[in-house]
Structure 1
Amino acid sequence: MRKFFTLFVVLIILVSLFSQVRNIIYFIGDGMGLSQAYAVSMIEGRPLSFMKTPHGGFVKTHSANSWITDSAAAGTALASGFKTNNGMINILPDGTVVPTIFEIAKAYGVKTGIIVTCRVTHATPAAFYAHVKSRNEENEIARQLVESETVDLIMGGGWANFLPKNLGGKRNDGLNLIEMAKEKGYTYITTKEELMNLPGGTNKLLALFAPSHLDPASERKEEQPMLYEMVKKAIEILSNFDEPFILMVEGSQIDWEAHDNDIYGVWKEVLEFEKAVQVALDFALQRNDTLVIVTADHETGGLGLSSGDYKIDVDKIRKFTETIDWIMENYSPKNRESFKEAIEKYFGLTLSDTDIDRIASAENSKVEFGRVMGEKVNIGWTTTSHSGIPVPVYAFGPGAENFTGFLDNTDIPRIIMRLVGYSLQYPLVKEPVMK
């Protein structure tokens, strides 16, 4: 038995010595704190895929100017290893422009990819390739994405930021960035069918499936792919080349559902995110050279998994079938009877006249509705914004043991660069590309 144990230990050591990080698949659940992940685990009645990874820790998320970060500052920290002020992307408070891990990796010949369910010019994806003083400069961010060619594979929404107004877009400068991308060798697609039929040898891809964000996971149109489908195709494409790759995948809309204090919406968005993570883990399990990291940019909503009485009514949550957004778009609390009937039909709950009056008279009826529904199932929300709660990080593959303990969000890209043998101090001289 002792000889067997010794042999096993030696084998593990040898595997670790010869397991080198070649590929990185970097998942960011926007707004996904431990409460959001664990709540979905409770509802599903099983641990989520990333909860079963052998290594994990916790991550501080504060920005340079606030204990409560926004996605731009958090994205900058996760993509460049530097703290900046809320709203800024890869430009420090003193004006210094900092390179991202994608820009550095590209300098070494690494393939890069971004997959999101929001606009590809939104704060988190932009943090991996853009440099702007304000995250709101999405037309400028789109220009930088195409002109820099930092990202080889892009999937998400937001084609309106790439087109001039006379073609249905949002640009006032007349630039047709989609045509520019084609000239630079990008294949451009707009539907799930086109994505599924793409050959594995596609070299550069710009896939924009909506003029703005993709539809929520629970309401995704047939022509828009699910996150796991995009991840599966991206891995197929990126792994078809001799070069290593870094792929960033964001579960973008977990955050938005938490902003609405919508437990059903959070459930469905985290579940979509988890399915995408499973695709990456299945790929990594077949190899010894791919590191999968799962974390979040911040927590949203201050979700509490009980509002009292030592209970949470998971069985009631499981009966929910629609998001708060969907209900408020289709029913009005001012039409009392139809609203009551809708809640009974889609949530299995009965609202009192007092509940409905409270929703109808609130300054933000949608959020108030979310809070009422939360109270019905014994969960609580402390805010409709972000919180300063540390978020989890999970890791699987070679080097995963480095993502343990209590980390800062700036540590994550620095550890990644160290594991792949690159330095964030790479002399990437870059002038600000903003106007």
Structure 2
Amino acid sequence: MEIEYGGVEAPRSPLGIERANGRSLLLPEKGRARWKVSRRLLVQIFAAGIFVVLVVSLISCASRAQPVQRSIPSVCRDSPRKPHQIRNVVFMIPDGMGPYYVKLTKGAMKLLGHDDDSMTLDRIIHGSVRTGSLSPEVTDSAAAATAYATGARTFNQNVSVINGKLMPTVLEGAEGVGMWTGLVTTARITHATPAAFSAHVSDRNKENDIAEQQLEQGIELLMGGGRQHFLPKGESGSKREDDRDMEAYAREKGYNLIHTEEELHSAMIPALGLFSPSHMAFEMDRERLRTEQPSLAQMTRRALQLLAAAPDGFFLMVEGGRIDHAGHMNDPVAAVHEVLAYDEAVAEVLKFAAWDNSTLVISAADHETGGLFQGENEFPDYAALAGISSSMEALADEFHRAVRAVGKPDEEAAARKVLRMAGVPDANLTSEEVSSLIEVADEVGIEYLEGGLPLKLGEAISRVLHVNWTTSHHTDVDVSLGVFGGESLRIKNNIDNSELGDAVIEALRVDPWKGHSFTHGSSSEDDCNLA
């Protein structure tokens, strides 16, 4: 069915500049009015042909308050651009997806029912991005996403802060000039990547604080998992340490709450979609386990339909968050399906961008996970990979239940039965390997995202499928850069992750620092202390 954009009756968000306790993080109303007046004046000046004034105004932006790491944006160095050439930006992040993830996926596509091995991503790859942070070790998602969100690097674990000071984000800059904003992810909405665009904490694990900050930002649309951080302490499944009911608070602020795929279709701005207690299901488990969760593509499509009504444009971040988790589990099967799900979301965005003709689309992973590669030995067994029907996360749960339901003499038989039912060619697994899986059969659940039974299953099945990993953690491999629309030709080749963040800020022509009043309404950097 053809998708309609702009036909959604989405009134201007009542969230605009509302803040709890009168505390505004963005431009005050007067600041917005001044911005609109200034914009009209610039247009009049340009129409009158006073080109020199425009050049001076561009040069003067170099004097704005900036973090130490931030160089003068190239918008202040390059020739002037046409006003409003970029109206919207969609920043897409396939968390953890290195180049070989795409290669592995292409090898399995025909066996999974695709006509060929072509992907939407193929059309937009322009270069690569150097990943990294200020920490001596490989970057984590918090620091990497901060580079994208702020145009400056920070230390691992930090979410848009550095040395105790706040780092304003492109999302905040967009909100500050009246644009609509949105965050879509298959991870928890409070997880590191979406958090870096919408919150400021020194430790990415402070997800309860992140949830509170996100609701104060005036973000028009949030979709993902992580409901556990919005429920009061006494409610089942809650991870909060207080009795605050953040869902009820969101309703008070005007948010429309959605929890299922069916509810997504009728969602309206402002929307808070919390589809899972923690991370959303892997794509290959989503329908099989009847989760009632939407796909990444479905969330992205609805987000675009709603944000298309924004009078002054929008900024949207879309994260394929579970690609990274498949890498942490060394799960090649889930990795392939997550990459395909991400590619479907990319297709939705490109369809919108082609229709809109004023949208810049960026696709770049924050880092690579797992060190996935192809060595000199056998190629992957793509047929066997395509025949497996479960992620290692879901398979671990089924394995655990089956093994613990029988006595010790029958454990191996029960384990092999579960593996065969999931399509795993268990004949290639030795008794020793199955026994090692049984030994960690109780190590299941989200706390074992980077270890326990899911990882052990991933390692064993990867060996059977001839898929190679070097680690279950992040690596410093450069990641692919995809760009489409707007000024895409200016963003290409090999660039630093902070440079890409700067480019996005420039494309929207917003200044995240302008209008901030973290303490007493001052926009100076000294007033941005966390304390």
Please indicate, yes or no, whether the TM-score normalized by the shorter chain is above 0.5. Answer: yes
CA distance in 2, matches of 1:181, 1:424: 25
1:319 and 2:387 aligned: yes
The alpha-carbon deviation at position 47 of structure 1 amounts to 2.5
The one-letter code of the counterpart of 2:164 is G
CA distance in 1, matches of 2:281, 2:393: 12
CA contact (8 A) 2:98 2:479 kept: yes
| Worse-matched range after superposition: 98-107 or 409-418 | 409-418
1:256 and 2:325 aligned: yes
1:194 paired residue among 224, 244, 263: 263
| Worse-matched range after superposition: 374-383 or 351-360 | 351-360
Q: 1:347 is matched with which residue? A: 424
Q: For the structure 1 residues 317 and 184, does the alpha-carbon distance in structure 2 shift closer, same or farther, using more than 3 Å as the test?
A: same
Q: 1:48 is matched with which residue? A: 119
**Counterpart of 1:270 in 2: which secondary structure?**
helix
1:159 and 2:227 aligned: yes
| Worse-matched range after superposition: 315-324 or 63-72 | 315-324
For structure 1, which runs of at least 5 residues remain unmatched after alignment? Answer: 1-15
Q: For the structure 1 residues 416 and 214, does the alpha-carbon distance in structure 2 shift closer, same or farther, using more than 3 Å as the test?
A: same
Output one character per residue of 1:81-105: Cα deviation in whole Å (capped at 9) or x when no partner. Answer: 111111011111x222110000011
The alpha-carbon deviation at position 313 of structure 1 amounts to 2.3
Which runs of structure 2 are paired with 1:363-402 in the superposition (5 Å)? 364-402=452-490
**Counterpart of 1:381 in 2: which secondary structure?**
coil
Q: 1:329 is matched with which residue? A: 397
**Counterpart of 1:24 in 2: which secondary structure?**
strand
The alpha-carbon deviation at position 271 of structure 1 amounts to 1.3
1:70 and 2:135 aligned: no
CA distance in 1, matches of 2:425, 2:251: 50
CA distance in 2, matches of 1:287, 1:142: 32
The alpha-carbon deviation at position 349 of structure 1 amounts to 4.6
CA contact (8 A) 2:334 2:392 kept: yes
2:88 paired residue among 23, 29, 33: 23
The one-letter code of the counterpart of 2:345 is A
Output one character per residue of 1:331-355: Cα deviation in whole Å (capped at 9) or x when no partner. Answer: 2577222323333441235222243
CA contact (8 A) 1:162 1:177 kept: yes
Q: 1:38 is matched with which residue? A: 103
CA contact (8 A) 2:172 2:512 kept: no
**Counterpart of 2:165 in 1: which secondary structure?**
coil
The one-letter code of the counterpart of 2:460 is V
1:108 paired residue among 173, 177, 188: 177
2:494 paired residue among 402, 406, 410: 406
| Worse-matched range after superposition: 218-227 or 331-340 | 331-340
CA distance in 2, matches of 1:396, 1:141: 31
**Counterpart of 1:160 in 2: which secondary structure?**
helix
Q: 1:141 is matched with which residue? A: 210
CA contact (8 A) 1:343 1:349 kept: yes
CA distance in 2, matches of 1:227, 1:82: 28
The one-letter code of the counterpart of 2:488 is A
Q: 2:251 is matched with which residue? A: 182
CA distance in 1, matches of 2:296, 2:366: 18
The alpha-carbon deviation at position 177 of structure 1 amounts to 1.9
Q: When the two structures are aligned, how many residues end up with a matched partner? A: 413
**Counterpart of 2:482 in 1: which secondary structure?**
strand
Q: For the structure 1 residues 318 and 167, does the alpha-carbon distance in structure 2 shift closer, same or farther, using more than 3 Å as the test?
A: closer
CA contact (8 A) 2:170 2:510 kept: no
The alpha-carbon deviation at position 145 of structure 1 amounts to 0.9
Q: 2:127 is matched with which residue? A: 57
**Counterpart of 2:272 in 1: which secondary structure?**
strand
CA contact (8 A) 1:66 1:86 kept: no
CA distance in 2, matches of 1:434, 1:423: 20
The alpha-carbon deviation at position 72 of structure 1 amounts to 0.8
What root-mean-square deviation, in Å, do the aligned CA atoms of Structure 1 and Structure 2 show?
2.2
CA contact (8 A) 1:72 1:123 kept: yes
The alpha-carbon deviation at position 171 of structure 1 amounts to 2.8
CA distance in 1, matches of 2:145, 2:263: 30
1:214 and 2:280 aligned: yes
**Counterpart of 1:127 in 2: which secondary structure?**
helix
Normalization by structure 1: what TM-score? Answer: 0.89
Q: 1:229 is matched with which residue? A: 298
The one-letter code of the counterpart of 1:423 is D
Percent identity between matched residues is 32
The one-letter code of the counterpart of 1:211 is P
CA contact (8 A) 1:59 1:391 kept: yes
The alpha-carbon deviation at position 358 of structure 1 amounts to 4.7
1:205 and 2:205 aligned: no
Q: Which runs of 4+ in 1 moved over 6 A?
A: 16-19
CA contact (8 A) 2:199 2:213 kept: yes
CA contact (8 A) 1:263 1:374 kept: yes
The one-letter code of the counterpart of 1:353 is S
CA distance in 2, matches of 1:203, 1:275: 23
Q: For the structure 1 residues 369 and 98, does the alpha-carbon distance in structure 2 shift closer, same or farther, using more than 3 Å as the test?
A: same
**Counterpart of 1:114 in 2: which secondary structure?**
strand
The one-letter code of the counterpart of 1:316 is A
CA distance in 1, matches of 2:271, 2:439: 48
CA contact (8 A) 2:176 2:515 kept: no
The alpha-carbon deviation at position 370 of structure 1 amounts to 1.6
